[in-house]
């Protein structure tokens, strides 16, 4: 088990212990605050990990290329005028 995994497992154990203690007390606000706190910790770590991945050279180049492609598509869509679509005539041979 690597250091990061062990840290996550240790934090999960601490979170579970705190949640059990809060639940045993019967205080709903305490349970909510423990859940909110640990959700914040997990969310922050996940965002840090995602940012670190996005900054890696191969991924950063891919992200930049995708952003440029998205911008080009948006510019094309804003310049494109779509032709009016004529409603289809009902085929008398088909039963719908």
Q: Looking at the 3D structure of the chain, how many domains does it have?
A: 1
Residue 37 lies inside a defined structural domain of this protein: yes
Assessment of whether the complete model's pTM goes beyond 0.75: no
To 10 degrees, the CA torsion angle through 42, 45, 48, 49?
A: -100
Residue 90 lies inside a defined structural domain of this protein: no
The two tokens of residue 4 are 């990061």
End-to-end CA distance of the chain: 62
Phi first, then psi: what are they for 2, rounded to 5°? -80, 170
Residue 28 lies inside a defined structural domain of this protein: yes
Residue 83 lies inside a defined structural domain of this protein: no
Spatial neighbors of 49 by CB under 8 A, at least 6 apart, are none
Q: List the domain range (segments joined by +) for residue 17.
A: 3-70
Residue 91 lies inside a defined structural domain of this protein: no
DSSP per position, 80-94:
--PPPPPPPPPPTT-
pLDDT at site 67: 92
Q: What is the mean pLDDT of each run of 10 residues along the chain (96 residues)?
A: 71 89 92 91 86 82 90 86 72 70
pLDDT at site 2: 65
pLDDT tens digits along 11-30: 888 889 999 999 999 999 99
Residue 77 lies inside a defined structural domain of this protein: no
Residue 8 lies inside a defined structural domain of this protein: yes
Residue 32 lies inside a defined structural domain of this protein: yes
Spatial neighbors of 32 by CB under 8 A, at least 6 apart, are none
């Amino acid at each position: 088990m690597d250091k990061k995994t062990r840290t996550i497992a240790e934090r999960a154990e601490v979170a579970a212990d705190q949640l059990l203690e809060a639940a045993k007390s019967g205080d709903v606000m305490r349970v909510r605050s423990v859940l909110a706190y640990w959700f914040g910790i997990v969310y922050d770590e996940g965002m840090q990990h995602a940012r670190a991945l996005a900054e890696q050279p191969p991924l950063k180049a891919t992200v930049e290329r995708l952003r440029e492609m998205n911008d080009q598509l948006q510019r094309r869509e804003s310049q494109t005028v779509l032709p009016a679509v004529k409603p289809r005539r009902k085929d008398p041979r088909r039963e719908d």
